[in-house]
Amino acid sequence: MKSFCVVGAGFSGAIIARHLAERGHKVTVVDERPHMGGNCHTERDAETGVMVHKYGPHIFHTADQRAWDYVQRFGKFRPYVNRVKAISSDRVYTLPVNLLTINQFFGTTMGPKEARAFIESKADRSIKEARSFEEQALSMIGPELYRAFFYGYTRKQWGLEPTELPASILKRLPLRFNYDDNYFNHPYQGMPEDGYTAIIENILAVDGIDIRLGCSFESLEEPYDHVFYTGPIDRYFQFRLGRLGYRTLDFERFVDEGDHQGTAVINYCDEAVPFTRISEHKHFAPWEQEKFSKTVCFREYSRLAGETDIPYYPIRLVNEKKMLDSYIELAKAEKKVSFLGRLGTYRYLDMDVTITEALAACDQIDIVLQEDDTILPSFFVDPA
C-alpha cells in the first residue's frame, strides 16, 4: 500500500483519488476551497432555492462513451440542450450561427443551399490559412456576422484584439446551414439532477480517502509516495519563473421575480455593454424551474486575473507558451509529482475532456504501479 496526495477536489483529482483508493492505497485529497467540485461547484441559492453554478455555467456534453458512462455512475443526468441567444445592436438572435441566425440577420428567407452560397460569397477567400481569430472568422462567415457576434464579445472576453488571438479559438465554434440551434454537436448531453458537486462527492465517497477542505497543499507536512497536482503549475514552483497569464471572471448576482430572460444564457455581443453574458440559473434545471417564485441571475465580466483571483481561461499567447515550456522542464525534473487537469497542464479543457484524460491517466497508473521500481510520469498528456 502506498500513500498518495491529490491536490484539488475537481473532476481530475476526484477520479484519480477514487481509483487509487479502490486499489487499496491511502489517499489524501486537499482543496483550499471550502467545497468540492472546483469551478464546477453547484449549490442551492439561499434566497431563491435555485441550483446555482457558482463559478459560471457548466453543461455536460461529450462524444466519449466512457466519460458519459462514468459520470452517470455517480448521479442522475437529465436531458439538457444548450440553446444560447445573443443580443447584437438591440436585436435578439440564436447561436451558434445557423440558418435562422443568417435569415434573421440579413432579413432573408434562404434555404440551406442558398445560405451556404451566400455566406461563401461573404467569406474572405484570399485567406488560405488563418493566422488569427479574426482571419478565421472572416474566412468562415465574412465581415458582417463577425462584427455582429464575435468582434466585441471577443475583445471583452479576452481583453485583446481578435488579430492577437489564435485561430484555434474559433475553429471549435459550429456554423450550420439548418435550423439546429443546439450549441453542441456531441451525442451525449445533460445536466446532473443534483448538481455537479454531488457528483464529485459521490466519486470521493469511498474508503481510504481523507478529504481536507479549506486546506492548502503548501500547509501539508506529511510525506507521500507521490503527489497528483491539479493546481496551477506555476504555483507549485512558487512562481519562480513568473506567473502564467489567465483570464478571470467576476459575477454580479441579482434576483428577480418569476422569469427574467426566458432562457439560460444570453450573450451580449456589443462592446459598449460591459458584461459578456447573463446566465439565469433555474433554466439549467428545466425539470424544476416552475416551482421557484424567484429567479437568480449572474452578469458575467471578464478581466485579466490578478494574483488573488480564480484562474479560468489560460491565455497561452507567445509569452505564456515560452514560460510554460520552462515550467514543463522543471516539472519533468521534479520527482514523485504528476501534473494534470486544466491548471496543472495550463490548457483550456471542457469537463468531458478532463474526465477522459483522468480516466486514461488511471489506466497508465495501473500499468506503472505493477512495477515497483517504475516512476509515474510528470504528465499523462503533453501540455505543450
pLDDT per residue rounded down to tens, the chain (384 residues): 899 999 999 999 999 999 999 999 999 999 999 999 999 999 999 999 999 999 999 999 999 999 999 999 999 999 999 999 999 999 999 999 999 999 999 999 999 999 999 999 999 989 988 889 999 999 999 999 999 999 999 999 999 999 988 888 877 678 999 999 999 999 999 999 999 999 999 999 999 999 999 999 999 999 999 999 999 999 999 999 999 999 999 999 999 999 999 999 999 999 999 999 999 999 999 999 999 999 999 999 999 999 999 999 998 887 888 999 999 999 999 989 999 999 999 998 999 999 999 999 999 999 998 876 678 999 999 998
CA 377 to chain centre: 25
As a whole number of angstroms, the distance between CA 337 and CA 216 comes to: 16
256: number of Cβ within 10 Å: 13
**Residues sharing a CB contact under 8 Å with residue 287, sequence separation 6 or more, in sequence order:** 78, 193
Residue 237 three-state SS = coil
Amino acid 172: pLDDT: 65
Amino acid 373: pLDDT: 62
Q: Write out the catalytic residue numbers.
A: 172, 176, 247, 277, 300, 348, 350
| In contact, 25 and 209? CB cutoff 8 Å | no
Selection from 322, 353, 340 nearest residue 383 by Cα: 340
As a whole number of angstroms, the distance between CA 288 and CA 52 comes to: 13
Selection from 239, 194, 269 nearest residue 43 by Cα: 194
As a whole number of angstroms, the distance between CA 51 and CA 44 comes to: 4
As a whole number of angstroms, the distance between CA 277 and CA 302 comes to: 10
| In contact, 67 and 355? CB cutoff 8 Å | yes
Instruction: Output the furthest CA–CA distance in the chain (Å, rounded).
Output: 68
Range list of H helices, 183-317? 196-204, 233-236
The one-character DSSP state at 164 is: G
Amino acid 128: pLDDT: 85
| In contact, 85 and 265? CB cutoff 8 Å | yes
Query: Strand 77-78 to strand 246-257: parallel, antiparallel, or no bridges (unpaired)?
Result: unpaired
As a whole number of angstroms, the distance between CA 41 and CA 190 comes to: 16
As a whole number of angstroms, the distance between CA 126 and CA 116 comes to: 18
**Residues sharing a CB contact under 8 Å with residue 321, sequence separation 6 or more, in sequence order:** 384
| In contact, 333 and 373? CB cutoff 8 Å | no
| In contact, 194 and 115? CB cutoff 8 Å | no
Amino acid 170: pLDDT: 79
Amino acid 60: pLDDT: 97
